[in-house]
């Protein structure tokens, strides 16, 4: 018995070696890492584990109970012989990993083969092989986590072999010879097959962990690439951005060359063959055009890479489309020396990476569209202010035409100067605080004519911030609101103060009047066109909206007022200046 155990453990080394070799095959690695097997994978698994069960039979030890003679290997068995073997290992693992169909299929292949091989235990062993696959599948269904526990796998393998010993004692004839056989080979086979199942399982588990580790590394690499390329692709697809992205990809990937094209030409090429592609940047291969038309990734061989014509050592390529809103805008090419370098994991990673870069391009396109819409809204809001102010001013001019034509002419002259600045302001996104103050002064020169000596304007301006950028026509509605509505019922001593001051990291701006004031609850500057008793609210709303769009919520207008106590409006903008103003 001890000699048989040593011999079987020796043969077990062969089984483990074959199992390790099997894990190097791509189909096996893919099968081992899949959580659910496809029909094709199940068929492959049945054939694989069934064949492994047959190998386990042939690698066993032929045994004659009467003479106790052991034969190291045999391909035929006489009627008085039996085999101490490892058939259970393949069948058990088939049931554990593939379920009932795979376990039963592998068991039938290995079991029927054993029946045809002969020996007085042939049918008992064949039936035991079939039942072992079913037993393993049943155990997996009842204990889903069993495939993660080597000790349970070893116990299950030993249990399956124990069942086989019991069937031999019950079904094999002559019974006395069968019982004697079980007494001699039972314990060595139970121990060896239990250990074999656990070792085979650990090998399969190591394959799954390798795949997971490789996938994690690929994901980490993809995220690192995405982080590096985002800063360039956010500006869209151009020669410069394509070159930067190719440079990053070439550094991070195992490809011998990287290229990016648009629909008609090569934008950038880094690596082997760069000189060739630089000289022929207008060339697009037939395969590239096919990828653009079909919108799907393709793998090119030696005869499909036009660089070969000039003896460029590129043997294979993965070509994938760059897509924005379901439209192909270009392609990303990964070149390799040989098609053998393009593994399934590599292809999957390149496909995911291309989708990631396409998403970055699509986000850049969406951001540009949003910016255009935002600029258009700013211009529209600014344009609303001009007719608003014009309406109020012309009312004043009309009232003066008959009373004081000279003052009316002066106001119209000032108005023409103001409108010239006003029209130019609606075509730009921002201008300097100095320009904004000139605009306010032009407006107030018109109002001073109407108020005569009743309006006093004071300026407290920190000259340091005259180059700070501000949305055009921001202060004018605030000043206009104070003049037209704050001083509406005030006969004398109308005081208006305009201040620009340092406020830490920001510039503070304040417009203060001693007019009528109002109840804060009666107005909401966030609601477009909200009316009070004396104001439509359009100008104030627009000023607040444009400040928020340019600088964020922290630059919103802040009102401090009470009925009869005047009004103070305050807001803050970042200390930004134009480069030309600094030169």
Coil, helix or strand at residue 142: helix
pLDDT value of position 303: 52
Tens of pLDDT along 526-557?
Answer: 554 444 444 445 668 778 888 888 888 889 99
Token readout for 439 is 């605009």
CA distance 235 to 253: 23
Quote the DSSP letter at residue 174: S
pLDDT value of position 534: 41
- CB-CB contact of 11 with 61 (8 Å): yes
pLDDT value of position 542: 76
CA distance 162 to 190: 6
Token readout for 343 is 């593994």
CA distance 517 to 155: 88
- CB-CB contact of 476 with 443 (8 Å): yes
CA distance 399 to 403: 7
**CATH class for the domain made up of 369-582:** alpha beta
Phi, psi of 479 (to 5 degrees): -65, -45
More confident residue, 310 or 369: 369
pLDDT value of position 530: 44
Rg (CA), the chain: 43
More confident residue, 262 or 582: 262
Q: What are the C-alpha distances in Å from 165 to residues 158, 182, 273, 408?
A: 11, 6, 67, 119
Structure confidence at residue 508 as a pLDDT band (50, 70, 90): very high
Of all residues in the chain, the percent with pLDDT exceeding 70 is 79
pLDDT exceeds cutoff 70 at 394: yes
For residue 21, count other CB atoms closer than 10 A to its CB. 10
234-342 maps to which CATH number?
A: 3.30.450.40
Q: How many residues does the chain have?
A: 583
How do the domains of the chain map onto residue ranges?
2-213, 234-342, 369-582
- CB-CB contact of 576 with 469 (8 Å): yes
CA distance 533 to 529: 13
**CATH class for the domain made up of 2-213:** mainly alpha
pLDDT value of position 379: 58
Question: The sheet that has 69-71: what strands, in order across it?
Answer: 69-71, 61-64, 82-84
């Amino acid at each position: 018995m001890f000699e048989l155990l040593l011999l079987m453990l020796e043969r077990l080394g062969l089984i483990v070696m074959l199992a390790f070799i099997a894990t190097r095959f791509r189909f096996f690695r893919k099968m081992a890492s899949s959580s659910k097997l496809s029909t094709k994978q199940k068929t492959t698994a049945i054939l694989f584990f069934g064949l492994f069960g047959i190998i386990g039979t042939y690698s066993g030890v032929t045994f004659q109970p009467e003479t106790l003679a052991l034969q190291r290997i045999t391909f035929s068995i006489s009627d008085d012989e039996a085999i101490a073997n490892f058939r259970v290992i393949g069948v058990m693992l088939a049931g554990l990993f593939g379920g009932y169909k795979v376990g039963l299929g592998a068991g039938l292949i290995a079991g029927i083969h054993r029946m045809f091989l002969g020996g007085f235990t042939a049918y008992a062993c064949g039936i035991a092989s079939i039942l072992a696959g079913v037993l393993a599948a049943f155990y997996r269904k009842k204990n889903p986590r069993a495939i993660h526990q080597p000790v349970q796998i070893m116990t299950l393998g030993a249990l399956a072999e124990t069942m086989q010993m019991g069937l031999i004692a019950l079904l094999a004839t002559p019974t006395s010879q069968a019982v004697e056989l079980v007494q001699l080979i039972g314990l060595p086979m139970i121990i060896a097959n239990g250990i074999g199942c656990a070792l085979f399982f650990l090998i399969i588990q190591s394959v799954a962990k390798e795949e997971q580790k490789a996938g994690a590394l690929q994901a980490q690499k993809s995220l690192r690439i995405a982080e590096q390329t985002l800063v360039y692709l956010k500006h869209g697809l151009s020669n410069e951005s394509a070159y930067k992205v190719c440079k990053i990809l070439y550094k991070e990937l195992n490809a011998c060359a990287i290229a990016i094209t648009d629909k008609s030409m090569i934008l950038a090429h880094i690596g082997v063959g760069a000189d060739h592609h630089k000289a022929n940047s207008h060339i697009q291969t037939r395969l590239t055009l096919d990828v653009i038309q079909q919108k799907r990734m393709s793998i090119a061989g030696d005869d499909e890479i036009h660089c070969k014509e000039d003896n460029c050592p590129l043997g294979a390529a993965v070509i994938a489309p760059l897509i924005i809103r379901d439209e192909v805008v270009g392609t990303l090419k990964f070149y390799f020396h040989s098609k053998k370098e393009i593994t399934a994991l590599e292809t999957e990673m390149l496909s995911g990476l291309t989708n990631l870069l396409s998403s970055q391009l699509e986000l850049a396109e969406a951001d540009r569209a949003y910016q255009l819409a935002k600029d258009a809204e700013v211009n529209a809001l600014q344009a609303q202010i001009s007719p608003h102010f014009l309406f109020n001013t012309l009312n004043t001019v009309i009232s003066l035409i008959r009373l004081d034509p000279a003052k009316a002419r002066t106001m119209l002259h000032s108005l023409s100067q103001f409108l010239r600045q006003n029209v130019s302001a609606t075509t730009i996104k921002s201008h300097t605080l100095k320009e904004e103050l000139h605009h306010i002064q032009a407006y107030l020169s018109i109002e001073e004519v109407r108020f005569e000596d009743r309006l006093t304007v004071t300026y407290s301006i920190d000259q340091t911030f005259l180059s700070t950028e501000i949305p055009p026509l921001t202060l004018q509605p605030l000043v206009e609101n104070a003049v037209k509505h704050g001083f509406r019922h005030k006969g004398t001593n109308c005081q208006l103060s305009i201040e620009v001051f340092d406020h830490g990291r920001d510039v503070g701006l304040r417009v203060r009047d001693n007019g009528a004031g109002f109840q804060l609850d009666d107005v909401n500057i966030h609601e477009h066109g909200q009316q009070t008793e004396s104001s439509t609210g359009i100008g104030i709303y627009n000023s607040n909206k444009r400040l928020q769009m340019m600088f964020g919520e922290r630059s919103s207008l802040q009102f401090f007022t009470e009925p009869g106590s005047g009004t103070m409006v305050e807001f803050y903008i970042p200390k930004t200046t134009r480069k030309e103003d600094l030169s």
